[in-house]
């Protein structure tokens, strides 16, 4: 930023000086009067006047050449500075997003974080949308936006930019006819929502990236920019894909955590039912054993009673 400021000041100073030479403002009053007397009085011959003008013109050309060289050098320095620091800044932003996602265990804060940091990664972005696929209908539902969600927006797969983000294998840059065709596929309500968010219609470019883990598609991230001088470039593709991948991993982790919690609940219920069934089985076995004991005692009692009722017959003696 300091180099850009110095460059601007120097550019204004050099061109102001050049302008003063052309208009005569840079010539002192005494010299200006001398030149006027020389021209009006005919003291100096035309050759001297021409030589003076050629000398001033040569000096002006020299200053213009020097100024252009300084401008080119400053542009080169600014470009090198931006190229050397922009990737580092974006990588630091992605690292901060990754650290924040590790401690966030709810899906809505994760989605809001992703669209908010997308605006930081790409400062020229006019608006950012994040869509997730409905597991029942398969439609894409707007779940987060850089300026909040005011109305529900549902996109059918195969139509619109969000659908292209969802179906794309990797991040894509959309411009010109491809972007116009995708925008025309939206209905009037969806176009009105985009117009209210973007401000300048149609957008000059769009960055789209799928949210997916291996073969599982979860949604899409869409960024728009309005003005041609602020459009996206191919060098932006790795960064938006990295952001989308971080979001996909975080969402998958939440789903896996919820699935694991559900399995844990099912396991606890199964164990409780097993313990209850085991308790009933033990009770039934104890009752069956008690019944068998009672039956054995009853049989023994009946046998004893039968023996006591029937008199014993003495054995017959042999006749003599």
Point out the least confidently predicted range of 2-6, 251-255, 304-308.
Answer: 2-6
Residues 32 and 151 in one domain: no
Give pLDDT tens digits for 138-159: 899 999 988 887 667 888 877 8
Q: Does 28 have pLDDT greater than 60?
A: no
- Look at residue 165 and tell me if it is in a domain: yes
Residues 136 and 72 in one domain: no
- Three-point CA angle 203, 205, 206, nearest 5°: 100
Q: Does 34 have pLDDT greater than 50?
A: no
Give the per-residue pLDDT at 43. Answer: 46
Q: Does 20 have pLDDT greater than 70?
A: no
Beta-sheet strands, E only, within the chain: 127-133, 140-145, 154-155, 172-175, 205-213, 216-225
What range defines the domain where residue 72 resides? 2-85
Residues 187 and 252 in one domain: yes
Reported confidence tier of residue 40, pLDDT bands at 50, 70, 90 = very low
pTM value?
A: 0.58
Split into its structural domains, the chain has a count of 2
DSSP state string for 71-98:
HHHHHHHHHHHHHHHHHHHHHHHHHHHH
Give the chain's mean pLDDT: 78
Point out the least confidently predicted range of 99-108, 142-151, 303-312.
Answer: 303-312
Q: Measured in whole angstroms, how far is the alpha carbon of residue 310 from the centre of its chain?
A: 100
- Which comes out higher in pLDDT, residue 24 or 106? 106
């Amino acid at each position: 930023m300091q180099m850009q400021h110095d460059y601007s000041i120097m550019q204004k100073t050099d061109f102001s000086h050049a302008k003063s030479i052309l208009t005569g403002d840079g010539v002192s009053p005494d010299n200006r009067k001398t030149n006027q007397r020389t021209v009006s009085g005919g003291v100096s011959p035309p050759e001297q006047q021409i030589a003076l003008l050629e000398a001033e013109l040569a000096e002006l050309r020299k200053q213009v050449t020097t100024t252009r060289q300084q401008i080119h050098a400053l542009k080169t320095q600014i470009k090198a500075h931006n190229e050397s620091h922009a990737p580092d800044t974006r990588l630091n932003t992605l690292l901060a997003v990754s650290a924040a996602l590790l401690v966030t265990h709810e899906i809505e804060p994760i989605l809001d974080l992703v669209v908010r940091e997308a605006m930081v990664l790409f400062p020229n972005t006019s608006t950012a949308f994040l869509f997730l696929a409905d597991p029942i209908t398969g439609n894409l539902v707007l779940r987060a936006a850089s300026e909040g969600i005011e109305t529900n927006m549902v996109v059918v797969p195969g139509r619109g930019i969000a659908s292209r983000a969802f179906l794309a294998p990797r991040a894509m840059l959309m411009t010109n006819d491809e972007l116009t065709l995708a925008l025309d596929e939206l209905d009037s309500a969806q176009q009105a929502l985009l117009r209210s968010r973007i401000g300048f219609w149609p957008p000059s470019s769009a960055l789209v990236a799928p949210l997916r883990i291996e073969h599982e598609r979860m949604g899409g991230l869409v960024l728009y920019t309005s003005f041609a001088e602020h459009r996206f470039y191919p060098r932006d593709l790795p960064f938006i894909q990295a952001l989308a991948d971080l979001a996909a991993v975080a969402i998958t982790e939440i789903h896996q955590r919820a699935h694991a919690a559900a399995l844990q609940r099912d396991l606890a219920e199964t164990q409780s039912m097993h313990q209850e069934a085991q308790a009933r089985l033990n009770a039934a076995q104890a009752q069956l054993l008690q019944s068998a004991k009672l039956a054995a005692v009853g049989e023994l009692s009946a046998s004893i009673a039968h023996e006591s009722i029937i008199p014993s017959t003495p054995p017959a003696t042999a006749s003599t």
